């Protein structure tokens, strides 16, 4: 039997995502009630600019006093889509203290302070759900947290930022440089006016921290994630990748060490073979590979951002949290029992693609190869081109530790015959 008294929902933020949440809650009210077992009522919407025209948003629900809204004793669930650290953190913890569960899309906050938020939720007998914080509409957090709870996840590898994937895809398909591709992404609305969070990898790093923490049952914050953006990727890098039968993607990679004693989390551009499924992920789409012992390889694919896709994930969490409220229970909280340390990037092993500008004369290749050997980095392939006294060496290594590769490059720069290091890129997805 359906309960007639509605569950009351407070919405913090009414931008692109918040407006879509409001629309779906209104247009699908009957379906949501049937799935939950009780009606859900939007009881208030906190915004910064109350005079802004918001089509389909009831003006009588709009308020600028977010604190008063979350302190109302009759609010059952707070949906937070304002983003950033503050005031979101204070508002969420205040909501917990006043008996409300929270659904959030705030990747930055969860990645920075997830442990404290989970602790506050548990102390107050509330839920904290954040499927929308990672990869938009793609169901990823819940499968990792619930569907694979009985399995051992060893690796999560994926494209988790649509803006950067669009830029790299355009560079690959058209031969455009980074700036040209970024301009197109901005014109189409894929890139913000200030694209720093995307192109410098901050957005992907926050998502990597969340995924690693859930996958490996340990605490990983954004400060634990090695981060490199794509601003240094050139058209020449893309061309080199093509010659190797590869393409370039900005990847989030979370791995459990072979001995199981530690984990790593990193975000950086990498070459991946065209035969790898991630190579075919185009435009602004996201895709994530999960490798587990029993389940094997799983791939999750779909739109990773945007108002409607993100709102879909928010509403999915809302249904789950409301069901828990009616049952007098809470869903899964933080699972960090393994307490695994996060290894530094220097300990990570991978293959590398290195392009060197060198003098075109006998013995240079031998000198370079000797430097690699001295630092314990094994060479897989070498391609050499020379003209008018100048040459380039393109070297692909076998797997090597990041620290060993860094010392190798440092020694190469000391050689008189090496004019410069044109580019260094990791090779993944073997």
256-307 pLDDT, tens digit each: 999 999 999 999 999 999 999 999 999 999 999 999 999 999 999 998 888 8
What phi, psi does 184 have (nearest 5°)?
-70, -40
Q: Residue range 239-253: average pLDDT?
A: 95
Mean pLDDT rounded to a whole number for the chain: 95
Confidence (pLDDT) at 258? 92
C-alpha R_g of the chain: 24
Q: Looking at the predicted structure, is the pLDDT value of residue 3 above 80?
A: no
pLDDT at residue 1 in the model: 66
Q: Extract the tokens encoding 166.
A: 């669009």
pLDDT of 165 reads 96
- Burial of 326 (C-beta count, 10 Å sphere; 0-12/13-18/19+): middle
Q: Which segments of 188-296 does DSSP mark as H helices, in order? A: 196-199, 202-216, 235-243
**What span, in angstroms and rounded, lies between the C-alpha atoms of 87 and 61?**
20
Check: CB of residue 17 under 8 Å from CB of residue 28: no
C-alpha 324, offset from chain centre: 28
CB 110 within 8 A of CB 130: yes
If phi over 0 gives left and psi between -120 and 50 gives alpha, with beta otherwise, what is residue 58?
beta
Statement: residue 388 has pLDDT above 70: no
Mark out the alpha helices in 145-301 (DSSP H runs): 162-174, 178-187, 196-199, 202-216, 235-243
Cα separation of 366 and 386, whole Å?
15
Residues in the chain, total: 430
Dist CA 8 CA 354 (whole Å): 57
Count each helix (H run) and each strand (E run) in the chain, helices first.
14, 17
Q: What is the pLDDT of residues 21-66, one digit of tens each?
A: 999 999 999 999 999 999 999 999 999 998 888 888 889 999 999 9
387 catalytic per annotation? no
Query: Of 146, 105, 130, 136, which Cα lies nearest the Cα of 301?
Result: 136
State the Cα–Cα distance between residues 320 and 185, nearest whole angstrom.
35
pLDDT at 387 over 70: no
Helix axes 402-413, 364-374, angle to 10 degrees: 140
User: What does the pLDDT read at residue 55?
Assistant: 83
At 189 the pLDDT is: 87
Predicted confidence band at 389 (pLDDT cuts at 50, 70, 90)? Answer: low
171-210: per-residue pLDDT in tens? 999 999 999 999 999 998 888 889 999 999 999 999 999 9
What pTM was computed for the model?
0.94
User: pLDDT at residue 216 above 80?
Assistant: yes
Instruction: Please name the helix (run of DSSP H) or strand (run of DSSP E) that holds residue 136, with its range, or none.
Output: none
The rounded distance, in Å, linking the Cα atoms of 32 and 315 is 9
Report residue 351's pLDDT band, with 50, 70 and 90 as the boundaries. very high
Q: Which residue has the tokens 């960090």?
A: 336
Q: Would you state the pLDDT for residue 225?
A: 98
For residues 113-140, give the mean pLDDT: 96
- Could you tell me what percentage of the chain is helix, strand and coil, using 3-state DSSP and rounding each to the nearest 5? 40, 25, 35
Which residue spans within 47-129 are E strands per DSSP?
Answer: 62-63, 77-80, 101-104, 128-129
Q: What is the mean pLDDT of residues 77-89?
A: 97
Q: Which element (helix H / strand E) includes 70?
A: helix 66-71
- What backbone torsions phi and psi does residue 10 show, to the nearest 5 degrees? -105, 135
Residue 10 pLDDT > 70: yes
Q: What distance in Å separates the CA atoms of residue 210 and residue 219, rounded to the nearest whole number?
A: 9
φ and ψ at residue 150, rounded to 5 degrees: -95, 0
What's the pLDDT score for residue 429?
81
Catalytic residue among 8, 107, 170, 207: 207
């Amino acid at each position: 039997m359906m309960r007639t008294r509605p569950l009351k929902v407070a919405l913090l933020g009414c931008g692109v995502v918040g407006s879509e949440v409001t629309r779906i809650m209104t247009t699908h009210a009957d379906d949501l009630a049937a799935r939950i077992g009780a009606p859900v009522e939007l009881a208030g919407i906190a915004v910064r600019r109350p005079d802004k025209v918001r089509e389909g948003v009831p003006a009588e629900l709009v308020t600028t006093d977010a604190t008063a809204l979350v302190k109302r004793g009759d609010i059952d669930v707070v949906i937070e889509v304002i983003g950033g650290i503050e005031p979101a953190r204070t508002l969420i913890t205040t909501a917990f203290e006043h008996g409300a569960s929270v659904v959030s899309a705030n990747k930055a906050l969860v990645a920075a302070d997830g442990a404290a938020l989970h602790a506050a939720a548990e102390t107050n007998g509330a839920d904290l759900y954040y499927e929308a914080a990672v990869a938009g509409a793609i169901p990823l957090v819940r499968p990792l947290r619930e569907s694979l709870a009985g399995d051992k996840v060893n690796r999560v590898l994926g494209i988790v930022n649509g803006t950067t994937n669009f830029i790299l895809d355009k560079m690959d398909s058209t031969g455009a440089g980074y700036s040209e591709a970024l301009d197109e992404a901005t014109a189409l609305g894929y890139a913000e006016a200030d694209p720093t969070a995307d192109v410098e990898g901050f957005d992907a790093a926050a998502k990597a921290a969340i995924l690693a923490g859930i996958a490996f049952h340990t605490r990983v914050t954004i400060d634990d994630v090695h981060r490199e953006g794509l601003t240094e990727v050139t058209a020449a890098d893309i061309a080199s990748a093509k010659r190797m039968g590869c393409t370039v993607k900005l990847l989030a990679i979370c791995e459990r060490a072979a001995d199981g004693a530690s984990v790593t989390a990193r975000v950086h551009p990498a070459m991946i073979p065209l035969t790898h499924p991630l190579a075919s992920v185009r435009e602004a789409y996201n895709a994530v590979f999960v490798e587990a012992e029993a389940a094997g390889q799983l791939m999750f694919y779909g739109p990773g951002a945007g108002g409607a896709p993100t709102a879909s994930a928010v509403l999915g969490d809302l249904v789950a949290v409301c069901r828990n409220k009616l049952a007098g229970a809470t869903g899964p909280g933080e699972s960090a029992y393994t307490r695994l340390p996060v290894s530094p990037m220097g300990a990570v092993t991978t293959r590398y693609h290195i392009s060197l500008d060198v003098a075109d004369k006998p013995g240079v290749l031998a000198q370079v190869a000797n430097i690699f050997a001295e630092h314990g980095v094994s060479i897989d392939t070498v391609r050499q081109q020379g003209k008018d006294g100048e040459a380039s060496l393109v070297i692909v290594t076998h797997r090597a530790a990041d620290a060993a590769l860094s010392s190798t490059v440092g020694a190469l720069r000391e050689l008189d015959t090496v004019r410069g290091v044109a580019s260094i890129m990791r090779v993944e997805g073997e």
